[in-house]
Structure 1
Amino acid sequence: MNRRTFGSAARLGVLSLAALSFAALAVYFANRHVTETIVKHQAAAKRPTPATVPVVVAKFDLIAGEAVGPDNMAIRPIPVDLAPSSSLRPDQFDAKAGMRLARALRSGEPLLTEILQPAEPAGLSSRVRQGIRALTITVDDVNAVSGMLRPGDRIDLLYSARSPGADGTPAVETSRILVQDVAVLATGRQFKPAAEDNGNRAFTSITVELSPDDAQRLIVAQRTGRVTALLRNPDDRHAVSTKTVDANALLGLDPRPAPGPSRPAIRSGPEMIVGGGGALASSRQHPDRDAALVSPTGPIPQGVSLPPNNSPAGIPLPGRRVSDAMQPDRVSQVPSAAAQVPLPQQPLLFR
């Protein structure tokens, strides 16, 4: 065996010995680890299980202000020694549902009572249906059914006013149904029925639910008359047909005025009666004859002429127009030519 071959065999033996040593160490440590694990499990099995308690925890991360409810909360058991004293139990959750978080809550973190704050109460606007309006009207003890109205009741609204009479008749009190089956949303500032409300609570206004058209009519009714609430049975939702009632109908009176005594016809304007020769002429009965010639003794003889602007003291002469003779600018002394004209045989009468 040469020297080179011996050296190679020695190195191979050393490497094999080292490999066997490492393998033995690996087996030893593996066996030790398995043994220790078995011992730990056996020791853990011998120890009693720690007591747990169910608490309400967050299903996922929640931000401050979110409302807690079944959709974001769950029930999980945790060890008693790890459960906070203020953690919420399942039997307490129903009373806290709907409250809001005062701070953020991580997933799996127990819900604590001190991080819950009351939810803001929903306003009246959330109770008004779409397309409907809420209107507040002033009431007193009489037209509020003696204060017995409560939110949720249904009423009719009666309108009363003094209606002007027709054909000169005096004004009379009139009443009619304005709207029917109206829901009462609030009485005063209360919009939730109170369990202890015995009907003695005082309020001066009610808020009702109306369509926009009925709201306009009710506003006009408040300004022009009196509105009275009529309480309905909650199961009676049918509209009734009613008539307008006034004081005359209640008392059985005839609203038409009694006819007064007849008066003689009053004549207007002056009336002139001209006598002579059996003929009468009236300026009122025959106004178209104002421009006609008045001749009580017959036609004017031929060859006799009258001055155009002369008449004795405004008295019409035969053959003159009555309207011309009555004008003052034509009154003058009778000329000599007028003496040739015969005067009327009967006096002239004026009225």
Structure 2
Amino acid sequence: MRMVFGLVLLVGIALAGGAVYLAKGQIGQYQAALNRAEMARQKIVPTETVYVATRALKYGDRLAAEDVRAVDFPVTAIPEGAFKTEEEIFPPTTEELRVILRPIEKDEALLAVKVTAPGEDAGITSRLERGMRAFAIKVDVSSGVSGFLRPGDRVDVYWTGRTGRGNEAGEVTKLIEAGVKLIAVDQSAGEVDGATIARTVTVAVNPNQVGALAQAQSTGRLSLSLVGAGDDTIASAVQVNQRSLLGIEAEVAAPVAEKERVCTIRTRKGAEVVELPIPCTN
């Protein structure tokens, strides 16, 4: 009887230990799941409604209701000037639409700096930054890069004219402005379809550059050189004349041999005056 009781006791203890072990494992798994849920909750980024473009929009397009949609945007990544309500974009007090000032890609956040106020015209003045002025440069097929210029491109401006006087006179080509931004081609400040031979291009420059370009245009010929879209280098000083272009070196006058000095002294012999050579002292 005692053996049976001891056996039952041992079996009970074994079962209890197993139950405790299983319970401990279950509790550990539950605690790990809680920890994972808490970490996932902490990783959730707070969002806010922001309006984005439903299609690619270019300069001059009118912004309609079907061109925008609301999305949840991370609060810490919302760009300055983003629209958060439809009423901000399309005020109920007016039926006038906004006009696109700068290209906007599909799903890009709509920003106040890239659109006009409702009913406002997207004139060329909207492309001028503070302190900048618009200046028109006359071009043709050769000086205007064969019609491949577009608003938004950057160009280097070269001046060709005559300098010097007399024998020093001659034509010279010099870089006078580097990386100037184009804001219009002929009368268009938007996209230009195909290669168009422009008659004038309008650049954005500061007042000092306006004076330099006006002087250069009135005294010689201006040519434009297109800068690559991803090129952030600044062209260094460039000046080329005919001699440097053809590799002609300036003529150097041959040195003139110095005449040997002869020093004399006059003396009188009776009625005759004669010159006698003597060593030169200076």
Q: Normalized against structure 1, the TM-score is what? A: 0.40
Q: Normalized against structure 2, the TM-score is what? A: 0.49
Tell me: higher relative CO, structure 1 or 2? Use CA pairs within 8 A at least 6 residues apart: 2
Task: Report the structure, 1 or 2, having the larger strand content.
Answer: 2
Q: Which has the larger radius of gyration?
A: 1
